[in-house]
Amino acid sequence: MKFRGLAAGVSALLVVAGLAACGGGDDSGSEGDVTLTYWASNQGASLDNDKEILTPELEKFTQQTGIKINLEVVPWSDLTNRTLSAAVSGQGPDVLNIGNTNAVTFQATGGFYPFDDAALAKIGGKDHFVDSAFATAGAPGKPPTSIPIYSQVYALYYNKKMFSDAGLQPPQTWEDLVSDAQKLTDPAKKKWGVVIPGATVNASMHFSFIFGQQNGGDAFDASGKPTFTTPGMVAGVKQYVDLMSRYHVVNPSAAQYSDSAQAAGDFARGDAAMYFAQTSGINVLKQNGMDPEQYGIVPIPAPSGGNDIGSFVAGTNISIFKNTKHLDAALQFVKFMTSDAEQATLNKAYTSLPAVKGVSASFTDDQQKLDTFTDILANRAKPLPLVAGVQAFQANVGGAVVSLIAKAATGAQVSEADVRNALDQAQQKMPA
């Protein structure tokens, strides 16, 4: 009985607190003292690294406009769910970052403010942005609901010392990559040819897309229907999983890496000779104590005879929440974040590619690395399909690849039939 009384008391308190929290956001409408809540994605090596980079820039914005920014850095693993909950409840930040892979999915929810021509004009117009980056802003033919701020591509990072010690050249084809990896793998010394973030769902989807493309497979057909079981997609996923299951050039422990940063750690410590990472890897590796001189960068190679695709157009976009009470302030903030000056500063700090035409990439003094990334973005990157099912594609195909990697790590051989079967199940789970 006593316990019940206590429970009732506690739940009453919770309800009151909940109601108070709901009411809390509404009383900041007075002019002159606007505070925007901004959810930034985790672009840096850690959440603290992001805060260090962003805080001085946000202070600049406050000085210029008098608008305060309440910054919260959200890890990628939480960002999608939190954004979704915010869209459902209508209680969310004013401005937030999203992965550009999710742009069309979130656009379909109607939770974000659509940038019509007038709004676009306020932030500098469509022509202010790099075309390939702006193409990820939303579905074609609709007002975009997100604006690109950081662009990225994948590349193959290789450890220069390990390669020269073994007398190897950076790989030109996938076959080279596999044979180099085999020569560099020595499980007894805990040295491995390649490291992959084996349990990371979104990265696994990225690789299945890239390697699928190399083998001529498309994840969706022209009408937007999933085609995960086409021979090209199956071959692409198999190509990735084989690193672990057939060639044994990946440390089986990597099947538990649920965060890309764990893979970066292995590469930075010299436990793995090769590592697939996006442009921001330069910053992440620096935070892990590895200088850019210690590694080289080449496009992720394709199997000989395959399509020379090494990446998709990755990146981060910024969106305004539809329910914001400070639309003008939010637009000013988006304009600030996409201004030439901020694009130069932030993309340098995050070692990503600027999303605006007026600024060129400057994140490293190493011209060869800059040229490689620029070449990949211009010539070897394909955009992800701009369909609303892309979030489900990421969850289901990424999840399927994670289980295949786990299966390979625990000692089972993964056959082509296993891959097709896993992809077939993923496809059947796709919303009709």
Interior angle at CA 197, CA 132 and CA 236, nearest 5 = 60
What token pair was written down for 226?
A: 């999933």
Task: Supply the DSSP symbol for 277.
Answer: E
What token pair was written down for 125?
A: 């117009």
Q: Does 84 bind another protein (CB under 8 A)?
A: yes
Nearest to 132 by CA among 374, 398, 403: 374
Q: 231-245 vs 390-409: helix axis angle to the nearest 10?
A: 40
Task: Supply the DSSP symbol for 113.
Answer: -
User: What is the helix (H) or strand (E) element at residue 300, kind and residue range?
Assistant: none
Q: Does 91 bind another protein (CB under 8 A)?
A: no
Are 154 and 276 in contact by the 8 Å Cβ rule? The answer is: yes
Least distance in angstroms from the C-beta of 401 to another protein: 10
Q: Which stretch binds another protein (CB under 8 A): 38-46, 68-76, 102-110, 272-280?
A: 102-110
Least distance in angstroms from the C-beta of 408 to another protein: 10
Least distance in angstroms from the C-beta of 32 to another protein: 31
Gyration radius from the chain CA atoms: 23
Closest to another protein by CB, 68 vs 322, is 322
Q: Does 182 bind another protein (CB under 8 A)?
A: no
Contact letters for another protein, residues 310-329 (x by CB under 8 A) = ------------x-------
CB neighbourhood size of 41 (10 A): 20
Residue pointed to by tokens 């051989």: 413
Contact letters for another protein, residues 258-297 (x by CB under 8 A) = x---------------------------------------
Are 144 and 313 in contact by the 8 Å Cβ rule? The answer is: no
Task: Write the single-letter amino acid at 79.
Answer: L
Closest to another protein by CB, 3 vs 167, is 3
Judged by CB under 8 A, the residue of 110, 224, 270, 289 near another protein is 110
Judged by CB under 8 A, the residue of 56, 90, 125, 231 near another protein is 90
Residues contacting residue 75 through CB under 8 Å, at least 6 positions apart: 42, 47
Q: Does 406 bind another protein (CB under 8 A)?
A: yes
Nearest to 395 by CA among 423, 353, 426: 426
Task: Write the single-letter amino acid at 325.
Answer: K
Least distance in angstroms from the C-beta of 142 to another protein: 13
Q: Does 252 bind another protein (CB under 8 A)?
A: yes
Nearest to 194 by CA among 245, 133, 135: 245
Task: Supply the DSSP symbol for 334.
Answer: H
Judged by CB under 8 A, the residue of 151, 283, 352, 391 near another protein is 391
Question: Looking at 7-102, which runs of residues are DSSP E strands?
Answer: 35-41, 68-74, 95-99
Closest to another protein by CB, 155 vs 401, is 401
Closest to another protein by CB, 321 vs 373, is 321
Q: Does 388 bind another protein (CB under 8 A)?
A: yes
Residue pointed to by tokens 């793995």: 272
Least distance in angstroms from the C-beta of 11 to another protein: 6
Judged by CB under 8 A, the residue of 15, 17, 22, 341 near another protein is 15
Q: Does 431 bind another protein (CB under 8 A)?
A: yes
Give contact residues for another protein (rule: CB under 8 A). 8, 11-12, 15, 77, 81, 84, 87-88, 90, 105, 108-111, 199, 201, 252-253, 255-256, 258, 322, 388, 391-392, 395-396, 399, 402-403, 406-407, 409-410, 425, 428-429, 431
